[in-house]
């Protein structure tokens, strides 16, 4: 009775609140150094790495909120497993400000880059888990057919692929690997253009019906001979 039900409004409202708090906490990591003195220009320059980390994390959390919002437009039911997976996802969302602060302060160290990459990849993997579970548990709207399900599942793969692939490179090249994260854009474009896998057991497309033959032209009736003509 209590492990499954209709409607996900409370899940969405709670998730929206957590997203809003996490995005607000990001900006709290941008602080002027206490030893700035009267040189405000130098102090502002010193917080540029923190601002860049804030902007990147804000965009990542914002995109995850958009993806989460779109998915739950078509996830109309819930079960205990979906609630637990969503809570785990929100746990990582609220954790993102910490690796953001770490990479802003220690962006030149490998462990900071690895921590940040793993946090971002975890967000997309948990989004993928939510989508797959909702489909397998029959929690989705009937509007979501197999093709739409596979399309969304495929579009969730570029982020974990790019960020997890950067982890071993970060162990070798250090902070330079952060520039490789721009590969997310071309990888997403490539994944978006891949054809969807054909459904198993689906019949081949029917051949078009042959066109009906055009009606033969009607021969004109011979002109009637005039009564006054010679016989």
pLDDT of residue 209: 53
**Nearest Cα to Cα of residue 61 among 120, 126, 147:** 120
Encode pLDDT of 42-55 as tens digits.
888 888 888 988 99
Question: Torsions phi, psi of 225, nearest 5?
Answer: -70, 140
pLDDT of residue 45: 85
Total Cβ atoms within 10 A of residue 190:
10
pLDDT of residue 127: 95
Residue 191 to residue 187: CA distance in whole angstroms: 6
pLDDT of residue 123: 95
Residue 87 domain-assigned (yes or no) = yes
Residue 25 domain-assigned (yes or no) = yes
pLDDT of residue 42: 81
The alpha carbon of residue 66 and the mean position of all alpha carbons in its chain are separated, in whole angstroms, by: 8
**Nearest Cα to Cα of residue 178 among 52, 46, 24:** 52
Residue 113 domain-assigned (yes or no) = yes
pLDDT of residue 202: 46
Domain of residue 156 covers 4-193
Hey, what are 139's tokens? 């929690």
User: CA–CA distance from 153 to each of 135, 148, 170 (Å)?
Assistant: 10, 8, 27
User: CA–CA distance from 139 to each of 79, 92, 111 (Å)?
Assistant: 8, 23, 39
What is the number of domains present in the chain? 1
- Residue given tokens 């970060």 in the structure block: 170
pLDDT of residue 7: 86
Residue 57 to residue 65: CA distance in whole angstroms: 12
pLDDT of residue 213: 56
Helices (H), 139-209: 146-155, 158-173, 184-193
Q: Which residues of the chain have pLDDT under 70?
A: 36-37, 197-231
Residue 99 domain-assigned (yes or no) = yes
């Amino acid at each position: 009775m209590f492990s499954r039900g209709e409607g996900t409004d409370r899940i969405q409202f709670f998730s929206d609140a957590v997203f809003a708090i996490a995005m607000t906490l990001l900006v709290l990591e941008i602080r002027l150094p206490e030893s700035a003195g009267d040189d405000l220009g130098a102090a502002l320059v010193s917080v540029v790495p923190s601002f860049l980390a804030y902007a990147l994390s804000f965009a990542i959390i914002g995109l995850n909120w958009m993806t989460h919002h779109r998915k739950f437009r078509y996830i109309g039911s819930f079960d205990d497993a979906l609630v637990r997976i969503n809570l785990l996802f929100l746990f990582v969302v609220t954790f993102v400000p910490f690796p953001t602060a770490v990479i802003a302060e220690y962006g030149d160290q490998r462990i900071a880059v690895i921590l940040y990459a793993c946090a971002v990849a975890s967000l997309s993997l948990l989004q993928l888990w939510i989508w797959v579970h909702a489909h397998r548990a029959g929690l989705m709207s009937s509007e979501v057919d197999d093709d739409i399900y596979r399309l969304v599942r495929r579009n969730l793969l570029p982020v974990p692929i790019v960020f997890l692939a950067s982890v071993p490179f970060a162990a070798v090249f250090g902070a330079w690997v952060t520039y490789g994260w721009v590969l997310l854009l071309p990888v997403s474009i490539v994944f978006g253009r891949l054809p969807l896998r054909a459904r198993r057991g689906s019949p081949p497309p029917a051949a078009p019906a042959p066109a009906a033959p055009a009606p033969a032209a009607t021969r004109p009736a011979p002109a009637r001979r005039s009564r006054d003509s010679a016989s």
